[in-house]
A = this chain, B = another copy of it.
Amino acid sequence: MYPKLFIPGPTHVRKEILEAQAVPMIGHRTPEYSKLQLEVTPKLQQLLYTQQRVYLYASSSTGVMEGSIRQASTGKPILFTVCGAFSQRWYEIGLQNGVPSEKIEVPWGQAITPEMVDEALSRKEYDAITITMNETSTGVMNPVQEIAALVREKYPDVLILVDAVSCMAGVKIEFDAWGLDVCFAGVQKCFALPPGLTVCAVSDRARERAKQVKYPGHYFAYAQMDKRYEKGQTPATPAISLIQALNKQMDDILAEGLENRWRRHQEMAAIVQDWARKYFALYADERYLSPTVTNITNTRGISVEGLNQELRKRGAIISNGYGDLKEKCFRIAHMGDLTVEDIHWLLEQINDILGL
């Protein structure tokens, strides 16, 4: 009845993780809750290679996208780098909040490069730059480390805000070493948890900047999160059952080993990419292929919806192309707790259905 999800979020959640939500309810002002948050936070810091703060928001990542720009803007514009639907949405969120918003843009399937960012930042002063690390709509992974190195060196006052929604916990993100300022992700993708919780690392620099913002808002405000952070609590009621599941999952992630986890994602991606090159074509620039979701150009003119209907009968679903790419592309996610064996099985099913 329930198909296994090879879609770019929510992705497949293991039974043990689903059940980890069902721990009896605890009060968010009790020692039991503080213990939970103080247990899970260092595990997240380890995952993100950071000594700085990691917040847990009861929210989808879209809310944290909004909070991140509201707390970065002291009056200078924010530079949004746009390479697909989700990076474009971030820009629109800027407009809807009255944040001075400008964008640079590449065609879908292409990546943002350090050179483009350099060119834009050299023209005027910006408060911050946004980067969508893994553009879920196109299957492109932007070179965040290289962009960050450039910004940190040449434009030290520009904050670097990174949407890592569909790649955090699937690829290595060295928050401190790269010099990032904000990096967030919903847990329903590479964390392989049910949705409703967003993990967000914030640098001390970004927390200082937020103090200079006249109207930083409330719910996503770092200043609010900081009020009880050291006590292991959140200002509003946290998503307790999801945090219970996150704590269990972080143990499993660390038991797998971070380097093993990154390698598994690379392996799954390579299998799907090779298959796509053989039977179809890759939509994204070969130099910037995502290790967590592959966007495949429908060169054979198959019915993507028809394929998915057949896959459903066999117990799985993939994603159609995003927006205008519907039926022109299809997407296979290889993230979270999916395995190389899962991916082989999926591709065999597709080959069988399409007679490849």
Contacts and interface: CB of A to CB of B under 8 A. Distances in A.
Interface of A: 2, 5, 7, 9-13, 15, 18-19, 21-30, 32, 58-63, 66, 92-93, 96-98, 186, 188, 194-197, 214-221, 235-242, 317
Given A66-B217, A218-B92, A194 B241 contact: yes
22 contacts: A2-B25, A2-B32, A7-B27, A18-B21, A18-B22, A18-B24, A28-B195, A58-B58, A58-B195, A59-B59, A59-B63, A60-B237, A63-B63, A66-B218, A97-B217, A98-B215, A186-B237, A188-B237, A194-B239, A194-B241, A196-B240, A196-B241
Contacts of A5: 25-27
A27 B237 contact: no
A30 B215 contact: no
Contact of A18 (B13, B194, B197, B241): B241
Contacts of A21: 18, 21-22, 194, 241
Nearest to A237: B195
Most buried by B among A5, A237, A317: A237
Leading 9 A-B pairs by shortest Cβ distance: A196-B239, A60-B236, A2-B24, A62-B236, A98-B215, A194-B241, A63-B219, A18-B22, A13-B25
A146 to B, nearest CB: 29
A219 B61 CA distance: 9
Contacts of A221: 96
Given A7-B29, A195-B239, 20 more contacts: A2-B26, A5-B26, A11-B25, A15-B22, A21-B194, A30-B317, A58-B58, A58-B60, A58-B63, A58-B195, A60-B219, A96-B215, A96-B217, A97-B215, A97-B218, A195-B237, A195-B238, A195-B240, A196-B196, A196-B240
Most buried by B among A21, A22, A25, A220: A25
Copies of this chain, whole number = 2
A194 B103 CA distance: 40
Contact of A214 (B15, B62, B98, B237): B98
A97 B196 CA distance: 24
Most buried by B among A9, A11, A13, A22: A22
Contacts of A30: 317
Contacts of A218: 62, 66, 92-93, 96-97
Contacts of A60: 58, 219, 236-238
Nearest to A320: B29
Given A98-B215, A237-B188, A241-B241, A194 B93 contact: no
A331 to B, nearest CB: 12
Nearest to A98: B215
A24 B17 CA distance: 10
Contacts of A11: 25
Most buried by B among A21, A61, A195: A195
A7 B11 CA distance: 35
A37 B349 CA distance: 31
A346 B334 CA distance: 51
A15 B60 CA distance: 26
A194 B25 contact: yes
Most buried by B among A30, A59, A241: A241
